[in-house]
Every structure is written in structure tokens, then in C-alpha cells.
Chain A
Amino acid sequence: MATATHEATLPRGVGRLTRGWVIFILAMVAVCVLGWVAYIREFSEGMTVTGMRNVGTMGGATWGLYITFVVYFVGVSFAGITIAAVIRLFNLERLRPIARMAEVMTVVSLILGAIAIVADLGQPFRGIVNLFRYARPQSPFFGTFTMVIAGYLFASLVYLWISSRRDAALLAKQPSRLHWIHRLVAAGYTDTPAERERQSRATFWMAVSILPMLVVATSTLGFVFGLQGGRPGWYSALQAPAFVVLAGLSGTGLLIVLAAIVRKSLPRDVGLNQYVFGWLGRVMMLLLFVYVYFMVTEVLTATYAGVDRDQQVTREMLWGEYSWIFWSAVILLVLPLASLVFQALRRRWNVSWLVAAGIAVNLGAIGKRYLIAVPSQTHGQLLPYPEGSYSPSWVEFAVVASLVAFGALVIGVFMKVLPIVEIEDEEVSHA
């Protein structure tokens, strides 16, 4: 087959459908379908099919797993574009292989965050219109809905597109089934020196403008919780900074996992070496130090100086109903930290251990997000309501699982359409 031989020459496995990839995609589609079934049920029956209920007399939590994952997804997106922008701004050439996948991760997780918000709305269609039509900047949610989803997602998409144009133009020089997509993405770019210069300037200024924007955007998510004086356990100046740090932490962890998968799945070495993983490991280690420090100060303040209801929420978190989540999260954050410190001291980075640490901090981050959202609702009543309880229903689990699967699906498809690792100059001259 003529096309097959041509496609075999496309770098980075683009356009080549392996058996493992097809099975993976089908599995992800199956999970997505399950999520749709669950969501259609939620949409037609109302949110009564979720485990969420009103706080107060109904004794429930009104924000649950969906908001936990909104916060988690937006957090993951934070690290991706930060690392991509830092690589661009400081010209960290040896880290370039992870730039593209970091950008893709940002865009995908932001889309997932947006979908998770819509899944959490009682009136989703109204939400999509009214959030823009009647937007109120006074609401801390304005930052999440309007700035994060609209502004930050748009900026990340543009950044991803601009930085992909060159690769698309190079791929478009070769005939393949995906030729039209590559031409479309390249959009007239032909990689002349003048164009390359302009491209470089554009990505530089985009990176400069994205960096402050995403700190603000992720902080607003912390403000959603941190500005609420009437909900014990939420009102804290530390919320926003802790959100940003945990965001960077989970994102870096996920990026390590993604880089390891890409390294395994690509036919030849693409520069994802010890240096890259070591750099990511060190970033994760630093963020872990800061976050563990934040956690200690947070718990200390709440147990030592907190007023009654704050103390009750903290007690419930440390020793009560939520203690298994809290202490699991602590273990999932502290053990990776120990392993990272050990590897840093030895100056040797083991990819398997790094991947394990990456997965662990992500699970820990999800647990911490859950603990920020839920206990303050079930045990943080200022009036003498009885204690509440919340456990997610299968609908919520299915929707969240399908969101994760959808993200994996999009990244999987992206890998086959455009190179997930940037094409280097010498490869171009070979071709």
C-alpha cells in the first residue's frame, strides 16, 4: 500500500494506528458512553440521582465529586502551560520534548474542567448562556467560569496552535491521509527564517502574558472557597496560594506519567531522557515541600486557634469520618516526597519511581480537593443542624470516570494527528 509506506515515514508515530492504540481508544470510548448514559439520567431525572443534597435540614453536601474534579482538572491544567511557557521564556532547549504534551495536557484538562462544571449545574443549558449573558465579576465564580474557561482555555488553545504550526507544516510536506489536517493547522506557514522569527516572537509574548493570567485564574478557584466567611474551614488567606501549589503539584505529576507513556509508545528516542525526568522530579519535589509545609500550617492554625466550628471540621477531618481520606492523602504526598528526596540526593532518577510518585500525588491531590469541598458542608454548620453526610452515587463516579477517559481519548487521538513531541531540526534535514 502506497499510503502506508508514506505514513511510515511520518515522524513520532503520527498516522500509524497500532493494535494497542485501537484497543485503548475503544476502551476509552466505552467508558465515555457509560458516562453519557449516567449523565442523561441525571439530566432527565434531576440531580436527585447524585449523592448530593442540601446542607442544613437535609443533612447533605451540595457540592461533591464534580466540584472536586473541577478543581482538580483546572489544577492539572495550571502546571502544563506553566512548564510550556517557562521552557519557551528561558529557552530550556533540553526540555523542549515535554513542551507540546504539557500544552496538550493543559487544553484537555481545561475542557474537562468546563464539562465538569456544566455537569454540576442544575440547569446546564441555561448555565452556558447565563454565565456570559449575566456575568457578575463580583462573584468569585466569575473567575472560574469566565476567566479560566473562556480566557485561559482560549489563550492555551492559541498557544498550542501557534507552537504546532511549524510541525504541521513539516508534516504537510509529505503526502498522507492526514495531509489536509496538517495543512489546515499549518495555515500557510512554510517555515522560512522570517516566519520562524515571527513565530518565535509570538510564542514569547504569549508565554509572557499567559504566566500571570494563569496564576490569577487558579487563585480565583481558591477564592471560590477562601472568601466564604460563613463556612467554617473555608475562610482562609492560604486557600488561593495552596490551590496554586497543589495545582502545580498534580499537574507536574501527571506530566511525568504522560511523558513516561509517550516515551514507551514512540518507536525511537525523542529526547525524553534522564535530564527531562530529573528536572520534572525536582520541580515536583520543591512543590511537595511547599505544599506539605502549607498543610502543616493549615492544620496547626485550625486546631490551635480555630473557633468551635472550625475545630469541629478539622477534628472530623483528622480523626472522624474523613480521617481515612486525610491520612491516605498525607501518605500519598509524604512517601513520594521521601522517594524524590532520596533520588535527588543520589542524583539518579528512576522513571518507574517517578511515575509512581506522579500517580500518588495525583491521588493525594484529589483527596485533598475532596476534603476542601465536603467536610465544611457536612460538619461546618453554624446553626445547630445535625451532622450531614455525603457519599457520591454511581452517576457521579461514572461521569467523572468518563471525563478522565475522554481526556485520555483526546490526547490519544492528538498523538496520531500531530507529533506529541516537537520535531527537531536534524530530523527535518533527514526528511
Chain B
Amino acid sequence: MVKYAMAVDLDRCQGCRGCMEACKIENNTVESVFWMHVFRLESGEYPDTKMSFLPRPCQHCDNAPCVKVCPVGARFKREDGLVLTDADRCIGCRYCELACPYGVNYFNWAKPEKRQYLDYDHPDVERVTGGVIPPYKNPDLDLLYGEEQRLTAGGGHFKGVMEKCTFCVHRLDKGLDPACVDTCPVQALIFGDLEDPSSGIAEMINDRTHFRLLEEVGTEPSVLYFGGAAPTEDSREIETVKARV
């Protein structure tokens, strides 16, 4: 049985946020939605300050609070460890978002077509594109995945439903790693099967110590952090993602 997990090597992460960009392009998420978010943190008092980076995908918890509270079973846990949202079933009550201590859920507040970074109908944009480049849509995202055959991949499906990181379920189906993992220039993100002893992630667990975020809440996350340290009360974001629409 496969059990997917992601390892984040904090000693390697340089805070370039390339993973955030890759995620957005792969999953067609709309403006101000960051399924992968990299905290750029500072702690301590000047001149003794420390800087650190903390990538935060969905933690795909084994004891996922979002799955427990969903009133219609749109948010569900797959046997291979993925926590996914069925965009066809979600009613948009946003309870999962409140139950989640990591803040990884993003709601489609408006019609996804209206929240693109570029307004493709705008004359200035059309002058450049000549009308030949439609807004890019990843065709894989409209397919159904997994044993359950549910609409779980990618973002921007409907207004009024919840979406979040899927560990790129559509890429796993083809045997690829998630987009953020493939993009990372310093291999700070490692994806693999915990049950497979030869996988990179299993070896890392044997060789090094790791921690998980907010272990005290009892969510049993599938994202393991190696090196570095968990953010403390003193940690604050150096510059926040301007993400209010």
C-alpha cells in the first residue's frame, strides 16, 4: 500500500518561492490563492535576528480535522494518504477552513474566470496576445482521479467551493512528483512513498531527525520537516503575501 508524504528540508530552502509559482501554473489557481505558501520569517531582536523559510503546503493529515467536520463528505482522506476535496460535492460552508489549524484552505469567493491575473478581454492584453492565447487551462484538471473517481484535481472549478493543495493528484497518477517538488531548484522538497524503504523520503527518516507542524493539535500531518526549527511565538513574516482581493 502506498502512503504518500512530503519532506521539506529547511536547511536547503532559500525562500525563492518558486514552488508557489509552479503550483499556481500547474493547478490554475486564481488570484490571491496560494496552495503552497512559503513563509519568510524573522525572529529575535535587532541585531540578533534570524531569518528562516517555511514552505507550507496542505499537511495531508492522517487525523485531518477538515475531513472530520465536512458535513457532506466532500473533503475526504484517500487510502494513499491524500486529503482531497470533491469540487462536485462541496457546498461551500467553509467549516473545513475553520477546523484546519494550518490555514491551507482557499475558497472561490468569485467566479474563477473573473479572478485571473490577467483580464484576457482587456484591449491592452489583447494587443499583445492578438487574441490567440486563451487563458491557459491545464486539461488534466477536469478528469476524475482515484478509486473514487471524483473531481479532485486542480483549482478554479466553480465559484463557491473550497479548494486546496492536492499533492498534484493528477501528476501522481502519471507517476510524476508534485509540481512544487519538481520545480524546487535546491531539492528542498522531496516527495515519496513512506512504505517503500528505498524511497528518498524513507531514507531521510532513517538518517535524520524531523518534526511536524503543530504536532500538539494531534492532526498527524504527512509533511515532515527536516533541519531548521518550527516557527515560535516570536516568528513574524518579513513581508506578507499581499493576497486580499
Contact = CB atoms under 8 A, between A and B. Distances in A.
Interface of A: 45-48, 52-60, 62-63, 117, 120-124, 126-127, 130-131, 133-136, 138-142, 145, 224, 228-231, 308, 377, 381-386
B91 interface: yes
13 contacts: A45-B110, A46-B110, A47-B109, A54-B106, A56-B104, A57-B241, A58-B244, A59-B240, A59-B243, A122-B91, A127-B91, A135-B72, A382-B217
Given A126-B91, A384-B231, A55 B69 contact: no
Nearest to A120: B93
Contacts of B104: 56
User: Chain B: interface secondary structure?
Assistant: loop
A133 B159 CA distance: 21
Contacts of B110: 45-48
Interface string B134-156: 00000000000000000000000
A55 B91 contact: no
A57 B101 contact: no
Interface in B84-105: 89-95, 97-105
Given A56-B103, A59-B243, A384 B93 contact: no
Most buried by B among A126, A145, A230, A385: A230
A114 to B, nearest CB: 13
B109 A383 contact: no
Nearest to A230: B101
Contacts of B217: 229-230, 382
A139 B69 CA distance: 4
Interface of B: 32, 34, 37, 39, 41, 56, 65, 68-74, 89-95, 97-111, 158-162, 213-214, 217-219, 231, 233, 235-237, 240-241, 243-245
Contacts of A126: 89-92
Contacts of A142: 71
Contact of A123 (B69, B71, B92): B92
Given A54-B106, A381-B103, 16 more contacts: A45-B110, A62-B94, A63-B98, A124-B91, A126-B90, A130-B89, A134-B73, A135-B72, A141-B93, A230-B100, A230-B214, A230-B219, A383-B39, A383-B101, A384-B41, A384-B236
Contact of A55 (B97, B161, B231, B237): B97
Contacts of B214: 230, 382-383
A422 B91 CA distance: 42
Given A55-B97, A62-B94, A382-B101, A230 B39 contact: no
Contacts of A127: 91-93
Contacts of B213: 383
B91 A136 contact: no
Contact of B97 (A62, A139, A140): A62
A122 B96 CA distance: 13
Contacts of A45: 110-111
Contacts of B243: 57-59
A63 B94 CA distance: 8
Contacts of B92: 47, 121-123, 126-127
A135 B91 CA distance: 12
A47 B37 CA distance: 23
Contacts of B106: 54, 58
Ranked 5 nearest A-B pairs via Cβ: A122-B92, A122-B160, A56-B103, A230-B101, A127-B91
Contacts of A52: 109
A383 B102 contact: yes
Most buried by B among A120, A134, A142, A383: A383
B123 to A, nearest CB: 24
Most buried by B among A47, A57, A124, A308: A57
Contacts of B237: 384-386
B112 to A, nearest CB: 9
Given A46-B110, A47-B160, A229-B217, A383 B231 contact: yes
A47 B110 CA distance: 6
